Structure 1
Amino acid sequence: MQASARCPAILIAAPASGQGKTTVACALARLHARQGRRVRVFKCGPDFLDPCWHALASGAPVYQVDLWMTGEADCRERLHAAALEADLIIVEGVMGLFDGEPSAADLAQRFGLPVLAVVDASGMVGTFGALAFGLQHYRPHMPWAGVLANRVANARHAGMLQASVAPDQWLGAVLRNADMSLPKRHLGLTVATEVADAMERLDAAADTLASTPLGQMTLEDLQRWAVEFAAPEASAPVMPALQGKTIAIARDAAFCFIYAANIDTLLALGAELVFFSPLADAALPACDALWIPGGYPELHAEAIAANTALRDSLAAHVAAGKPVWAECGGMMALFDTLVTLDGQRHAQWGVLAGEVSMQKLLAGLGPQQLQLASGALRGHTFHYSTTATPLQPVARTARPGTVPAPDAGEAVWQQGAVRASYFHAWFPSCPEALIELFTATVEVAA
């Protein structure tokens, strides 16, 4: 049995989305990482984009922690492992502190993570103190670190905000600074690798944070937030059921929503992984199965349509009866046509009959689970498009604690050995179901 591990840790939360949690989490990670300290960052909830920035800021892999999707045991194992090697653990919350089931507050209380509240203080003075007090005391026994004012107008404004909270709660004020903002688009932050000056933005954020009480804390100061992470129970070994199988994974600017834990799980199952770019490559690599993750096909629909050689290679893979699992953006590209917001129609891969149309409003959001013959995969949905197809769903996902319904959840479409859905799967939640997805072939007539 492993021993517990002790490490300073904070959960960065806010009253709502858009307050600046990610910027502050990245700034704090970058500030300590560039001083040679070992920082591990985690993201609460099923988010692909924030972790790209966290990883760049910390220089370390970033994993999701969610009491439902990843499960308490998985959270405990990852936090304990991080505590064994890190000088500081940062967990970024999701939405507002108490939003969602489970919420960031649930995670903080389950593991004793002190909460640092980031509050957008533009347009307020005394209400800042009321918000800070409410976040701390709304639920009894909330572990608490303090409050940071964000987007503050000037030093005078900062002084008034500081006066509204107890002295031991104040962790500083971050003035408005366009240089430290992280660019956004319709699904959230822009992927860090697509932003040419990403590191410069992170350094600007770190420099700004360095002038606050939070940013001036030494490793010795951070010990006030030390958390004892209990050792996880020994987990059952994963059998290498995919040994000898090669899985090709689409990965480029159009298909980039990949959990690090999903890659780890495929490797643990014994699969050999090869990556390719549907935008740039003329053919699939030699493989037994294919995974096309989510991303932004709508931003690259013209390039996808132009790469007819890749389309033909994919068609040959499908015709051979080899498995394909496509999630959200990956699924969108499998249909005949993709219609962008401006009404432009782009031919896609034509594996599934029908078309996908982008919408201005969110069309799907929240935790979901997919029941397969060999078990249930947990995950989530988040998309701004809708499908129109003559195909009938072979299955539907369901929200936690419910059963699939004909008019609810995300449809799973199937054509031969191709399965596709808006559902994003968290692979570690059910390796058995994963094996089913990547080994279920169909017989092809000679």
Structure 2
Amino acid sequence: MKTNSVNCPALLVTAPASGHGKTSVTAALARFHSRNGLRVRCFKTGPDFIDPTLLAAASGQAVYNLDSWIMGSEHCRQLLYDAAAESDLILVEGVMGLFDGEPSSADLAELFGLPVLPVIDAAAMAQTFAAVLHGLATFRPSLTLAGAVANRVASARHADLLRTGLPAGLQMASLPRNPQASLPGRHLGLQLADEIADIAERLDQLADTIGETWLAKLPPAIAFAAPARSPKPEPVLQGKTIAVARDRAFCFLYQQNLECLRDMGARLVFFSPLADAALPDADAVYLPGGYPELYADTLAGNNRLRADIQAHIAQAKPLLAECGGMMYLTEALLDVEGRRHEMLGVMPGVAVMQGKLSAIGSQQAELDGQIIRGHTFHYSTLQTPLSAIAQAQTVNGHGGEAVYRLGSATASYLHFYFPSNPEAIAGLFLA
């Protein structure tokens, strides 16, 4: 008889705010349990390209995002259900603070019945730990608290002070301060897993601390309901080859986006604008976001690839450029010191790096009469004489990012989530 749910141990790792150590604790749990032979599947709440690389390195499994607004509740439910059916543990890393954002981590936990595990940076507090935890636990009574993690604890005495005032029966795991195991960051968040030379050693050190706490035991299993499955997209990209930029400069890729293109029949070939001297033979090109500002000199010096991409567009072949990919299309990139770096010269205007965040948040855009959802997160601004073909809107209906079209090329600061409208995305990759 077909079951309507599957059971699997699960936790949503959260915090009062960013910077408390959610990623480190989630990675530590994933590393510890996968190291012990369990199949661990990790998810990241909200749009994020960086943390999933660290969680994938820790778990050895592909990591998907979960966002009920961008992706839709049933799509999220399907991803969780499929993971639960083949896994021993599901870990979901939250975003920002537990109640921050629309939708928030708390919304996701409530929607899918996930018990929450708050991580609180206790380095500069003592008895106040219990008060902060009390607020997280009681602000929305519908949530289930699995326990708590006191992070960056200085000593056994410090841990005893943190436990003062905790409700009876509430488990607190005390994780020591360890700078050697910390995950390094920069202006858009943490560094990517493949940029950290000793990532394996750091993850193992983080995992070792889990083994000394109650977190070494699996949490109780919860039921994941069967989704209302959507039909697979039509294979409208059958026979088409899409060249996807993927290296340290262009690394902001949803795993789901690549799978969506393949589900529509596309053949994907990957190339590096940093290292490759030629563009692969392809019907279309996808330039995702990333860190072109960190590798501007190298990109500027790759003249052969510049000529190939220019020729690709001159032949009216489709190209989609998102955020950093759009910056690469411009005439030049100005770094934070004001230095000019020549880019592809396909799109009139310049991208100007700033020392502060320019835009962040989920948005949707109507292109060719169809809605595509995604998000924006960038430190640069674009100075261009081009007129937008569309203006995205935020979750609350405010004006968002511009979308530009230059012949067969579409460009925007938006990072599109392809499964939100596969048909519309296919249209961007078809001549």
Do both proteins adopt the same fold according to a TM-score greater than 0.5, normalized to the shorter chain? yes
Matches within 5 A, 1:292-331: 292-331=287-326
Task: Determine the structure 2 residue equivalent to 1:444.
Answer: none
Task: Determine the structure 1 residue equivalent to 2:197.
Answer: 196
CA contact (8 A) 2:127 2:163 kept: no
Task: Determine the structure 2 residue equivalent to 1:370.
Answer: 365
Distance in 2 separating the partners of 1:421 and 1:169: 47
Task: Determine the structure 1 residue equivalent to 2:38.
Answer: 37
Distance in 2 separating the partners of 1:311 and 1:183: 32
1:437 to 418, 428, 431: 428
Distance in 1 separating the partners of 2:98 and 2:64: 19
Corresponding position: 1:237 with 2:232: yes
Task: Determine the structure 1 residue equivalent to 2:410.
Answer: 419
Point out where structure 1 has 5 or more consecutive residues left out of the alignment: 442-446
Task: Determine the structure 1 residue equivalent to 2:182.
Answer: 181
CA contact (8 A) 2:78 2:229 kept: no
Task: Determine the structure 2 residue equivalent to 1:22.
Answer: 23
Matches within 5 A, 1:53-132: 53-132=54-133
Task: Determine the structure 2 residue equivalent to 1:394.
Answer: 389
Matches within 5 A, 1:151-162: 151-162=152-163
Deviations 1:388-431 (A, max 9, x none): 1111111111112527xxxx311112211111000000000001
Distance in 1 separating the partners of 2:136 and 2:40: 26
Distance in 1 separating the partners of 2:363 and 2:159: 42
Task: Determine the structure 1 residue equivalent to 2:138.
Answer: 137
Deviations 1:69-122 (A, max 9, x none): 111001100111111111110000000000001100000011110000000112
Distance in 1 separating the partners of 2:420 and 2:299: 31
Deviations 1:178-229 (A, max 9, x none): 1110010110010111111011110011112221222x32x4xx22xx1100
% identity of equivalent residues? 53
Deviations 1:376-397 (A, max 9, x none): 1111000000011111111111
Distance in 2 separating the partners of 1:171 and 1:285: 53
Report the 3-state secondary structure (helix = DSSP H, G, I; strand = E; otherwise coil) of the residue aligned with 1:169: coil
Point out where structure 2 has 5 or more consecutive residues left out of the alignment: none
Distance in 2 separating the partners of 1:48 and 1:228: 28
CA contact (8 A) 1:374 1:432 kept: no
Corresponding position: 1:248 with 2:243: yes
Report the 3-state secondary structure (helix = DSSP H, G, I; strand = E; otherwise coil) of the residue aligned with 2:429: helix
1:154: how far off?
Answer: 1.0
Q: TM-score, normalised by structure 2?
A: 0.98
CA contact (8 A) 1:146 1:168 kept: no
Report the 3-state secondary structure (helix = DSSP H, G, I; strand = E; otherwise coil) of the residue aligned with 1:144: coil
Distance in 2 separating the partners of 1:19 and 1:392: 42
1:124: how far off?
Answer: 1.2
Report the 3-state secondary structure (helix = DSSP H, G, I; strand = E; otherwise coil) of the residue aligned with 1:165: coil
Distance in 2 separating the partners of 1:390 and 1:106: 41
CA contact (8 A) 1:136 1:144 kept: yes
Report the 3-state secondary structure (helix = DSSP H, G, I; strand = E; otherwise coil) of the residue aligned with 2:270: strand
Q: CA RMSD in A?
A: 1.1
Report the 3-state secondary structure (helix = DSSP H, G, I; strand = E; otherwise coil) of the residue aligned with 1:305: helix
For residue 300 of structure 1, what is the amino acid of its counterpart?
A: Y
Report the 3-state secondary structure (helix = DSSP H, G, I; strand = E; otherwise coil) of the residue aligned with 2:103: coil
Deviations 1:313-359 (A, max 9, x none): 00110100011100000000100010111221100000001111100
Task: Determine the structure 2 residue equivalent to 1:279.
Answer: 274
The more displaced of 170-179 and 348-357 is: 170-179
For residue 50 of structure 1, what is the amino acid of its counterpart?
A: D
1:374: how far off?
Answer: 4.6
1:164: how far off?
Answer: 2.5
Task: Determine the structure 1 residue equivalent to 2:211.
Answer: 210
Distance in 1 separating the partners of 2:142 and 2:229: 30
Distance in 2 separating the partners of 1:167 and 1:303: 58
Distance in 2 separating the partners of 1:299 and 1:187: 12
Distance in 2 separating the partners of 1:347 and 1:234: 47
